[in-house]
Amino acid sequence: MKKFLLLAIVMMTTAMAAYAQDVPKYEFAVTYNVLVADIDVLDNETTHGYGLGFQYNFNRWFGLAAEWGATHGASGPFTLALPSFGTLVAVPELDTRYQTFLGGPRFSWRKSRFTVFGHYFVGQGNTKFEDEANGWHDGNGEFAQAVGGGLDIFIGKKVAVRAAQFDYVAIHTDVNARLGGRDGLGNIVSTSGNWQNNSRFQTGVVFRFGTK
């Protein structure tokens, strides 16, 4: 009886250890990003780019993650009123760039073939506009937050495909207000900050290191 109990304990311990090894200690993601920018005058421009992500897992369901993303787009033509020039300027193409630096808790539901996760991030969002033809640029960096989640599908013990990640990305900025207007006519005005409500999609590859 004692030998049976000892054998059962050993088998249970081995099974638990093997189960625990399925959890990577670190995860590193490389992604393709699409961010739909909440800019009225640009009719909610779609920007494209890439991102990097890092995650440390404390256990099977909880980890801390950090992400950096950069996207770029070009809109135009439209007309912009610049007070510094005192005139209306026809902008043939406006270069739009976004960068986000975000981090926070991530919660995961892990199965043998996939992981479903959700998170809440805070950090900074940088927005930049540039009209190279007229030598004008504008932008700022402000508080940002993101709520979202996604799905990773394993294609090996060390590699997974980030099939999809969707985020609502809010940036507290006055850019949308200063570029006020619709239908291709913008006006630079001085105003207080407001929330810019962006949406983001990511897909890519996740590399998994170490075990917990």
Residue 119 maps to which CATH number? 2.40.160.20
Distance (Å, whole) CA 78 – CA 92: 7
| Total domain count, the chain | 1
Cα distance between residue 59 and residue 69, in whole Å: 26
Closest listed residue to residue 84, CA positions, set 20, 137, 158, 130: 137
Residue 22 has pLDDT above 50, yes or no: yes
Q: Which domain holds residue 30?
A: 2-209
Percent helix, percent strand, percent coil in the chain, to nearest 5: 10, 65, 25
Determine the average pLDDT of the residues in 97-114.
96
pLDDT of residue 208: 95
**Are 101 and 91 a contacting pair, CB within 8 Å?**
no
Greater model confidence, 102 or 135 = 102
Q: What is the mean pLDDT of residues 71-84?
A: 71
Give strand ranges (E) for 111-193: 114-131, 136-154, 159-173, 185-187
Task: Please tell me which residue, 101 or 193, carries the higher pLDDT value.
Answer: 101
Residue 85 backbone phi and psi in degrees, to 5: -95, -20
- Mean pLDDT along residues 23-50: 89
Q: What is the pTM of this model?
A: 0.77
User: How high is the pLDDT of residue 107?
Assistant: 98
Residue 125 · residue 98 · CB < 8 Å:
yes
Is 61 strand, coil or helix?
coil
Q: Is the pLDDT of residue 54 over 60?
A: yes
In the 8-state DSSP scheme, what is residue 59?
S
Instruction: Please report the pLDDT score of residue 18 as a whole number.
Output: 41
- Summarised one tens digit per residue, pLDDT across range 154-194 is 998 899 999 999 999 999 876 666 665 544 445 544 444 57
